[in-house]
């Protein structure tokens, strides 16, 4: 019996997701709860577990394709008894398919999926791969004979990469054996045979096709950069699409005001140097961002307007009595702002650990939608890029965001003399509907006071 699995509601009102990688192929036998694919929503990469036990019959979407919630994603061939216990799509007289956020059923079988042997065109068993490599690919295809063999094991991104380089994965499989072919295997093969013929060298046709699909071919030489089209078109999707929509909404809804303040943070940097020498704190990497986060939490208690949101529908200003602190993170997928929940209740060490954890998870691309939802105030650490100041745009639903600049040693007036001090510029953007200039300036001054004299934090609570 054929059972279709439709893309479930992944939470937070998301309406679509992009298939990043398929972890199964048609013909594979899958177990209940086995991961089928990784999909990218506008907020995070999510692993989809299988609600069925059976054999994959059809993949309704390719890697890189965007699928709407409720649209068919994959089909299984399941036996009748298992059909009753699986999670069918919702309909009349049927049980609703579970939401896969935090979803998991009790597994019944384990082990690797069995791969179906299929008839494919490839080199004869025992053929000399060196001879095949030396010949043009069209010669290999015409000389190849039908052989019953297992197709090379690889993921869709690896197959696409090999196609861009003009590499036949059958030849790579002959070298690596019966294991999953990786991108590194393809690159190593291309480098090894690059000097023999055109194997692994992208042509003008492959470069053009790659540009139209939004991917970037790997040139085999500097001269190849000019062989293709003069423009590259990249599809707007995933995090980039969500971020763009959110920034446009914020920029044209909330009247932004940005104020700046340069702070002497020499005392803070001295404090951090002393903390790094404390063996009890050796496992905690406490940096300037953690001190800024602590100062922000303390200052928000004195300026609640910057920890509020504008509820247009209700005609109300909602003041939050807690701080869910967003930390902007630049990733390969684009800008995301994961949250530290109840940051105002954490110590300096707790904030440092939370900041480090958020950064590691964000870089791995495993930030969950729940970690990206909400937020009452945000910090953007532009200093890591060597930037001093900026005009950050408010995340939708927040009334304030603080950009933290780089720490630089510069001449500065100190106790009536010119001295070489460590300076940082703070840039605060706020929603002028909720925060007036005086309140914004007071908040920025409170944060600056803690950074200039960390001991003043004792006076703010």
Burial of 50 (0-12, 13-18, 19+ CB in 10 A): buried
Of 430, 461, 429, 431, the C-alpha closest to 446 is 461
Phi first, then psi: what are they for 295, rounded to 5°?
A: -65, -40
C-alpha–C-alpha distance, residues 340 and 321, integer Å: 15
Q: How many residues does the chain have?
A: 461
Residues identified as active-site: 432
Tokens matching residue 363 = 């870089």
Tell whether the torsion through CA atoms of 27, 28, 33 and 38 is positive or negative: negative
Of 204, 217, 218, 211, the C-alpha closest to 234 is 211
C-alpha–C-alpha distance, residues 373 and 7, integer Å: 21
Is residue 78 a contact partner of residue 86, using CB atoms and an 8 Å limit?
A: yes
Which pairs from 423-426 meet CB under 8 Å and 24+ separation? 423/262, 423/263, 423/264, 423/265, 424/262, 424/263, 424/265, 424/288, 424/383, 424/451, 425/260, 425/261, 425/262, 425/263, 425/388, 425/389, 426/260, 426/261, 426/262, 426/263, 426/402
Is residue 316 a contact partner of residue 339, using CB atoms and an 8 Å limit?
A: no
User: How many other CB atoms are found less than 10 A from the CB of residue 255?
Assistant: 11
Q: What is the DSSP letter of 33?
A: T
Tokens matching residue 333 = 């997928």
Phi first, then psi: what are they for 19, rounded to 5°?
A: -75, 115
């Amino acid at each position: 019996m054929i059972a279709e699995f439709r893309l479930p509601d992944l939470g937070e009102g998301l309406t679509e997701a992009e298939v990043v990688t398929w972890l199964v192929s048609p013909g594979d036998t899958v177990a209940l709860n086995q991961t089928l694919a990784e999909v990218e929503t506008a907020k995070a990469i999510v692993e989809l577990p299988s609600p069925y036990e059976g054999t994959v019959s059809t993949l309704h979407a390719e890697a890189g394709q965007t699928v709407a919630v409720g649209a068919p994603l994959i089909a299984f061939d399941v036996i009748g008894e298992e059909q009753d216990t699986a999670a069918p799509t919702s309909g009349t007289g049927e049980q609703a398919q579970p939401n896969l956020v935090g979803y998991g059923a009790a597994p019944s079988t384990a082990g690797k999926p069995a791969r179906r042997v299929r008839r494919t065109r490839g080199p004869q068993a025992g053929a000399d791969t060196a001879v095949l490599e030396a010949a043009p690919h069209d010669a290999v295809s015409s000389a190849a004979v039908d052989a019953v063999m297992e197709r090379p094991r690889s993921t869709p991104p690896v197959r696409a990469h090999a196609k861009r380089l003009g590499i036949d994965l059958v030849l790579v499989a002959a070298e690596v054996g019966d294991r999953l072919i990786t991108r590194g295997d393809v690159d190593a093969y291309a480098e090894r045979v690059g000097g023999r013929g055109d194997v692994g060298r992208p042509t003008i046709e492959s470069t053009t096709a790659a540009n139209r699909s939004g991917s970037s071919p790997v040139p085999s030489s500097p001269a190849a950069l000019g062989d293709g089209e003069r423009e590259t078109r990249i599809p707007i999707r995933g995090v980039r699409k969500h971020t763009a929509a959110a920034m446009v909404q914020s920029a044209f809804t909330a009247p932004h005001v940005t104020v700046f303040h340069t702070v002497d943070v020499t005392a803070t940097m001295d404090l951090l140097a002393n903390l790094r020498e404390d063996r009890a704190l050796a496992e905690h990497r406490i940096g300037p961002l953690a001190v800024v986060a602590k100062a922000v939490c303390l200052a928000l208690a004195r300026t609640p307007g910057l920890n509020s949101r504008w509820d247009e529908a209700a005609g109300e200003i909602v003041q939050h009595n807690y701080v869910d602190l967003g930390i902007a993170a630049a990733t390969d997928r684009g800008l995301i702002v994961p949250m530290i929940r109840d940051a105002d209740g954490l110590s300096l060490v707790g904030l440092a650990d939370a900041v480090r954890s958020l950064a590691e998870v964000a870089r791995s691309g495993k930030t969950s939608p729940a970690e990206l939802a909400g937020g009452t105030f945000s910090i953007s650490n532009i200093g890591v890029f060597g930037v001093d100041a900026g005009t950050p745009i408010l995340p939708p639903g927040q009334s304030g965001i603080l950009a933290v600049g780089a720490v630089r040693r510069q001449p500065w007036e100190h106790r009536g003399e010119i001295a070489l001090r460590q300076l940082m510029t703070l840039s605060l953007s706020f929603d002028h509907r909720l925060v007036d200039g005086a309140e914004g300036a007071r908040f920025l001054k409170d944060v600056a006071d803690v950074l200039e004299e960390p001991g003043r934090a004792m006076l703010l609570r």
